């Protein structure tokens, strides 16, 4: 039997974020049923221009962080996708501050999209989304990296936080 050379992540992480965002937006569009046929429509209560400005800053910031992080993987010649083998350990750039800057970037972009859609429910669902990513993606990746890179990864893990 051959040993697999990847973390064994079953679902691409962007799909996890997208699924939670879509469910939150869908629930928000349904409104909160108050009983007796009344529905509470939720919103952030922000002026459209302000909401769009906040959303734009968050979306661009998240995408820039993702681009910088993924770009470093490409420069190191290692795969960004968690279903492919890692050939190098990224510890520079955004990886000096977070072991998972791509997932932080996804979360920032997600928050921006939730604000853009005026969907408080979607924004609240970011919390369970991050728990799912942490448990079913990051933990698998960290177990894989510890086995693949040994002491080098352990030293990095001891020095840099998982999220921020």
All residue ranges of the chain with pLDDT < 70 are: 1-3, 32-41
pLDDT of residue 30: 84
Sequence-ordered list of residues with C-beta below 8 angstroms from that of 27, at least 6 positions apart, any chain:
121, 122
pLDDT of residue 122: 96
β-bridge partners, 32: 40
Are 75 and 91 contacting, i.e. CB atoms less than 8 angstroms apart?
Answer: no
Q: pTM for the complete prediction?
A: 0.92
- Of the candidates 149, 164, 30, the one whose C-alpha atom is nearest the C-alpha of residue 104 is 164
Q: Which two tokens stand for residue 125?
A: 């669902």
pLDDT of residue 3: 66
84-108 pLDDT, tens digit per residue, is 999 999 999 999 999 999 999 999 9
Are 135 and 13 contacting, i.e. CB atoms less than 8 angstroms apart?
Answer: no
Residue 92 C-beta-side C-alpha neighbours within 13 Å? 9
Are 93 and 104 contacting, i.e. CB atoms less than 8 angstroms apart?
Answer: no
pLDDT of residue 2: 47
- Coil, strand or helix at 163: coil
Provide DSSP, 86-122. Answer: --S---SGGGGT-S-HHHHHHHHHHHHHHHHTT-HHH
Are 119 and 25 contacting, i.e. CB atoms less than 8 angstroms apart?
Answer: yes
- Coil, strand or helix at 39: strand
pLDDT of residue 131: 98
């Amino acid at each position: 039997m051959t040993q697999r050379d990847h973390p064994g992540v079953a679902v691409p992480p962007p799909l996890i974020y997208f699924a939670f965002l879509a469910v939150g937006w869908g629930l928000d569009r349904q409104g909160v049923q108050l009983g007796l046929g009344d529905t509470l429509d939720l919103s952030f209560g922000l002026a459209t221009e302000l909401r769009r400005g906040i959303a734009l800053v968050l979306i661009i910031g998240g995408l820039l962080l993702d681009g910088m992080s993924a770009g470093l993987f490409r420069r190191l010649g290692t795969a960004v996708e968690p279903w492919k083998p890692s050939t190098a350990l990224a510890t520079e750039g955004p990886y000096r501050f977070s072991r998972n800057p791509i997932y932080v970037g996804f979360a920032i972009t997600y928050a921006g999209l939730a604000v853009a859609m005026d969907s408080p429910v979607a924004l609240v669902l970011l919390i369970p989304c991050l728990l799912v990513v942490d448990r079913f993606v990051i933990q698998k990746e960290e177990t894989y990296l510890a086995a693949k890179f040994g002491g080098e990864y352990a030293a990095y893990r001891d020095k840099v936080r998982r999220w921020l």
